[in-house]
């Protein structure tokens, strides 16, 4: 028998957990490093579109991940007067698939799947250096060598900072406070309670996202220099002045723990060098206007495992092939997400008119929501090769 191939994975987010599990399912010996003392979900709820759902199916985790998730029937955009200016049906025949899941439930599902696959998960284990020849140095002083080293340590990746590979990195000058509140019939009219709704008012947005039968994920989006809007604890009075029709919902956010994050956009000159590869936000962070950061991370991580599933070619060649296959889809999604942020710059009346008329402009209509949302997982040539 050929010797078992080894992988060191740095970072236990969506990309790291997906890659570690998929490689272990393909016979690799995998060790996953998380610098924190426990693996924690950052955020509240998460949109998982068709590519992310297909990844979960390929890993054998779909049923567990989808248990208790919310399945909406429409995505709506509302203007400053609470008028629907755009609507996209979802989850029906021939329509885009999307579930909203509590992020901690999704992370717990991936952790369980990784352990069942035989991944060795090390918490409190911080990688401080990784090299293209497969060497990893831990803060403890321990070193390891592997056939592949995968850096999935986030947009501020310590490993990536060792190399001159950033092509473009931009703060979007907008961010969000994300939080979870109990669902209540008082928040929106009965006909709207099962939908996903994005409300605009000036340069602020409120995202209403049922994520389970009992939990509602709320995102309060604003410019980072809008001090009242980005304040923690939340300045509910300021938000209610912008969205008086959401007074009950915003009032429920008072005193709820939330976290402000400024949106990021990141591209690299290359995703790999030798046996070292960058995954997820460490490679291709994007603003969340399409809700595709997690789906792209999971899709790309599964594509990487498929690429490395062929033992006949050197690891460095398979990593280059993986990037060639996956990068066009990822960067297409990044561009769409970045462009949608320009809606923030329009006055209310102009934005409302544009979105109402978008059904006549395919690039701004439903296709803007479907762009990259229904791509199959493993969009490159590796899809389905090692399932």
Q: Which domains does the chain have, with CATH numbers?
A: 6-170+263-370 (3.50.50.60)
> pLDDT tier at 358 (50, 70, 90 boundaries)?
low
> pLDDT tier at 215 (50, 70, 90 boundaries)?
very high
pLDDT on residue 129: 98
- Predicted confidence (pLDDT) per residue in 335-348, tens digit: 999 988 888 889 99
Lowest mean per-residue pLDDT among 49-58, 75-84, 116-125, 349-358: 349-358
pLDDT on residue 360: 46
- Are 32 and 146 in contact by the 8 Å Cβ rule? The answer is no
- Predicted confidence (pLDDT) per residue in 236-246, tens digit: 999 999 999 99
Q: Which of 334, 371, 364, 374 is nearest to 85 (CA)?
A: 364
pTM of the shown model: 0.93
Lowest mean per-residue pLDDT among 89-103, 235-249, 283-297, 349-363: 349-363
Residues 6+ apart with CB under 8 A from 90: 72, 73, 74, 75, 96, 97, 98
Q: What share of the chain has pLDDT > 70, as a percent? A: 91
Mean pLDDT on 176-194: 95
pLDDT on residue 370: 44
> pLDDT tier at 150 (50, 70, 90 boundaries)?
very high
- pLDDT at 39 exceeding the cut of 50: yes
- pLDDT at 303 exceeding the cut of 50: yes
Vertex 299 angle, CA 98 and 131, to 5°:
150
């Amino acid at each position: 028998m050929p010797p078992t191939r080894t992988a060191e994975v740095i970072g236990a987010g969506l990309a790291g957990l997906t890659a570690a599990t998929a490689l272990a399912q393909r016979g690799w010996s995998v060790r996953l490093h998380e610098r924190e003392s426990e693996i924690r979900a950052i955020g509240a709820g998460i949109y998982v579109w068709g590519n992310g759902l297909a990844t979960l199916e390929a890993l054998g985790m779909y049923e567990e991940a989808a248990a208790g998730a919310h399945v909406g029937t429409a995505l709506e955009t509302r203007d400053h007067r609470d008028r629907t200016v755009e609507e996209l049906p979802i989850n029906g025949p021939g329509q885009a698939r999307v579930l909203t899941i509590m992020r901690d439930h999704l992370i717990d599902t991936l952790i369980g799947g990784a352990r069942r696959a035989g991944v060795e998960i090390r918490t409190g284990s911080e990688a401080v250096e990784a090299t293209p020849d497969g060497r990893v140095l831990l803060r403890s002083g321990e070193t390891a060598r592997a056939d592949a080293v995968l850096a999935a340590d986030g947009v501020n990746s310590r490993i990536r900072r060792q190399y001159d590979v950033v092509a473009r990195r931009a703060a979007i000058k907008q961010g969000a406070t994300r939080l979870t509140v109990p669902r209540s019939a008082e928040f929106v009219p009965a006909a709207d309670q099962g939908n996903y709704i994005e409300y605009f008012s000036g340069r602020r947005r409120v995202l209403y996202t049922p994520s389970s039968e009992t939990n509602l994920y709320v995102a309060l989006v604003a410019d980072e220099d809008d001090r009242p809007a980005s304040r923690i604890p939340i300045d509910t009075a300021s938000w209610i002045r912008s969205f008086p029709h959401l007074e009950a919902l915003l009032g429920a956010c008072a005193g709820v723990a939330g976290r402000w994050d400024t949106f990021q956009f990141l591209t690299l000159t290359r995703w790999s060098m030798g046996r070292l590869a960058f995954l997820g936000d460490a490679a291709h962070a994007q603003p969340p206007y399409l809700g595709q950061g997690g789906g792209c991370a999971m899709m790309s991580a599964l594509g990487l495992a498929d690429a490395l599933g062929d033992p006949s070619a050197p690891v460095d060649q398979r990593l280059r092939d993986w990037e060639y296959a996956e990068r066009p889809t990822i960067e297409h999604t990044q561009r769409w997400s970045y462009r949608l942020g320009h809606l923030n710059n329009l006055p209310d009346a102009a934005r409302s008119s544009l979105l109402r008329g978008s059904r006549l402009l395919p690039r701004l209509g439903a296709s803007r929501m479907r762009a990259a949302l229904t791509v199959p997982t493993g969009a490159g040539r590796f899809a389905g090769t090692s399932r």
